[in-house]
Structure 1
Amino acid sequence: MKNVLKILSLILIVTTVMISCKKDKDPATADFFVGTYNGSVSYNKDETSITNSEGKVTVSKVGDTYNFFFGSNIPDITGVKFEKSGDNTYVSIGSGLTGITIDANTLKMLVSKDGATWTADCTR
């Protein structure tokens, strides 16, 4: 009987240690921003000017970069990297792709690259 109690106690201790050592995961590292944001979007380049107050931006993640798909004949923005700026808020980094701030609920964008400008003020 003592051996059974020892084995059960050992199993209980091991289970408790395994549960308590579980690593907490930051929601932002779990593709928390992937999805569709709705709101005002625009694109300007040369003679082209597209504005949609009921637009949408679909965010996807491939590896460690994010892609932004606009629809409405607005060119997509791909290969964007982010760094943490606050509590689950991230800002874009990299050449020509700065100006994007994203969290679980909002997407704000003012990107200028190669003579083109994209803007977005969207929420989920």
Structure 2
Amino acid sequence: MKKAIRIFSLLLIATTIMIACKKDKDPASTDLFVGTYKGSVSYTKDGNTITSSDGKVTVSKVGDTYSFFFGNNIPDITGVKFEKSGDNSYVSIGNGLTGIKIDASTLKMLVSKEGATWTADCTR
């Protein structure tokens, strides 16, 4: 009986530690934003505009930077870093790559860089 109580106690302690550690995890470190968002996207450069109301943006992460891959012949945006803005929401930081707000279900973008402008209003 003592052995059963000891095993049960150890299991209870281990479970408590695992649950406590899960709560401390930063959402950005779990690749929460990686995946495909769908919605309206556009790209403008030199007076030429590409627009799609059923576009998609695929987000990937390498190290501490994110990349945004568009369909519809829209150039990709790479090397984006984020900082936390509220609960589980992040905004882009860095030179020329500001204007992106992302969370687990929504991607909003208005980026102007080198004479080009990208927009996205997407969900997943």
TM-score band, normalised by shorter chain: 0.7 to 0.9
For structure 2, the 5+ residue unaligned runs are: none
Amino acid at match of 2:114: D
Which residue of 4, 16, 30 corresponds with 1:8?
4
Supply the RMSD in Å over aligned alpha carbons. Answer: 1.5
Partner Cα separation in structure 2 for residue 94 and residue 14 of structure 1: 47
Partner Cα separation in structure 2 for residue 65 and residue 28 of structure 1: 11
Partner Cα separation in structure 2 for residue 116 and residue 27 of structure 1: 31
Displacement, 1:48? 2.5
Partner Cα separation in structure 1 for residue 74 and residue 9 of structure 2: 58
2:55 aligned with 1:55 = yes
Q: Percent identity?
A: 71
Residue of structure 2 in register with 1:92 after alignment:
92
For structure 1, the 5+ residue unaligned runs are: none
Displacement, 1:15? 1.9
SS of residue in 1 equivalent to 2:57: strand
Residue of structure 2 in register with 1:107 after alignment:
107
Displacement, 1:26? 4.2
SS of residue in 2 equivalent to 1:15: helix
Residue of structure 2 in register with 1:69 after alignment:
69
Which residue of 13, 19, 37 corresponds with 1:17?
13
Partner Cα separation in structure 2 for residue 108 and residue 47 of structure 1: 23
Residue of structure 1 in register with 2:81 after alignment:
81
The farther-off stretch of 57-66 and 8-17 is 8-17
- Higher Cα radius of gyration: 1
Partner Cα separation in structure 2 for residue 82 and residue 11 of structure 1: 44
Partner Cα separation in structure 2 for residue 98 and residue 113 of structure 1: 9
Partner Cα separation in structure 1 for residue 64 and residue 5 of structure 2: 43
Deviations 1:55-86 (A, max 9, x none): 11111111111110011111000111111111
SS of residue in 2 equivalent to 1:86: coil
SS of residue in 2 equivalent to 1:96: coil
Runs of at least 4 residues off by over 4 Å: none
